[in-house]
Chains A and B, each alone.
Chain A
Amino acid sequence: KQEVTQIPAALSVPEGENLVLNCSFTDSAIYNLQWFRQDPGKGLTSLLLIQSSQREQTSGRLNASLDKSSGRSTLYIAASQPGDSATYLCAVRNAGGTSYGKLTFGQGTILTVHP
Chain B
Amino acid sequence: EPEVTQTPSHQVTQMGQEVILRCVPISNHLYFYWYRQILGQKVEFLVSFYNNEISEKSEIFDDQFSVERPDGSNFTLKIRSTKLEDSAMYFCASSYRVRSGNTIYFGEGSWLTVV
Contacts and interface: CB of A to CB of B under 8 A. Distances in A.
Interface of A: 31-32, 34, 36, 41-46, 49, 51-53, 89, 91, 93, 98-108
Interface string B88-115: 0101010100111111111111010000
Contacts of A43: 6, 91, 106-109
A34 B107 contact: no
Nearest to A39: B108
Interface of B: 6, 31, 33, 35, 41-45, 48, 50, 55-56, 58, 89, 91, 93, 95, 98-109, 111
15 contacts: A41-B89, A42-B109, A43-B106, A46-B104, A46-B106, A52-B100, A91-B43, A99-B98, A100-B50, A100-B56, A101-B33, A101-B48, A102-B33, A102-B48, A105-B42
B43 A44 contact: yes
B9 to A, nearest CB: 9
B42 A106 contact: yes
Closest 9 CB pairs of A and B: A43-B108, A44-B106, A100-B55, A31-B100, A105-B43, A100-B48, A101-B98, A51-B100, A102-B45
Contacts, number: 72
Contacts of A104: 45
A36 B56 contact: no
Most buried by A among B43, B44, B105: B43
Contact of B56 (A51, A91, A99, A106): A99
B52 to A, nearest CB: 13
A66 B41 CA distance: 25
Nearest to B9: A41
A51 B104 CA distance: 13
Contacts of A45: 106
B101 A32 contact: yes
Nearest to B46: A102
A107 B41 CA distance: 7
Contacts of B56: 98-100, 102
